[in-house]
Structure 1
Amino acid sequence: MSVNQMLQQAAELMAIGMATVFVFLTLLVIIIQLMSLSVRRFFPSKKNSPTTVELVESDAISPKVVAAITAAVHQHRQQQL
C-alpha cells in the first residue's frame, strides 16, 4: 500500500467515525427532548405548592434562634483560638 492509499483510508475512517458520532449525538438530543416533553405532559409541575425559597422568605426567623446561633458561633470561635 502506498502512502496516498493509507492517507485516503485514514480520511475515510475519520469521516465515518465523525459521522457516526454526529448521528449518535443528534439522536441522543432528539430522544432527550422527546423524553422531556413526555415527562412535562404526563407529570406537570404543581403551581400551588410553595418552593423552598418561598418558605424561607415567608417565615420570619425568631430572635431566640438568631441569639442561639450567634452564641454557638461565638463559642466555636473561642474554642478555635
Structure 2
Amino acid sequence: MVAELLWEAANLMLIGMVAVFAFLLLLVFVVQLLSAVMQRYFPVKTTDKTTRVESGSSGPSPAVIAAISGAIHQYRQQQ
C-alpha cells in the first residue's frame, strides 16, 4: 500500500518536472525565435559612439551648478 503510493507520487513528480522543463525549453526557443525575427525585420540603428560620448561628457551646465550652489548656500544659512 505505502509502496504503491510512493511509486505514484514519484511518477507524478517526474511527469510534473518533465512538463515544466519542456515548457521552459519551449519558452526559450520561442523567445530566441522572436528575437531573431525582430532583429531581421526591425534592426536597431546604431549611433556613432564617439559623438554620444562627447555630448554626454560635458557635465552639467554652469546654470545648473549655480542653481545647486545657491540652494545649498540658502539651506546652510537657514540652519
Q: Name structure 2 gaps, 5 residues minimum.
A: none
What corresponds to 2:5 in structure 1? 6
Per-residue CA deviations over 1:6-48 (Å, capped at 9, x if unaligned) read: 0000000000000000000000000001111111111111123
TM-score (structure 2 length as normaliser)? 0.76
Identity over the aligned pairs, expressed in percent?
A: 46
1:33–1:78 distance in 2 versus 1, CA, 3 Å: farther
TM-score norm. by structure 1 comes to 0.74
1:44 & 1:77 partners in 2: Cα distance? 52
Runs (5+) with no aligned partner, structure 1: none
Change (3 A) 1:37 1:74: farther
Match of 2:35 in 1: 36
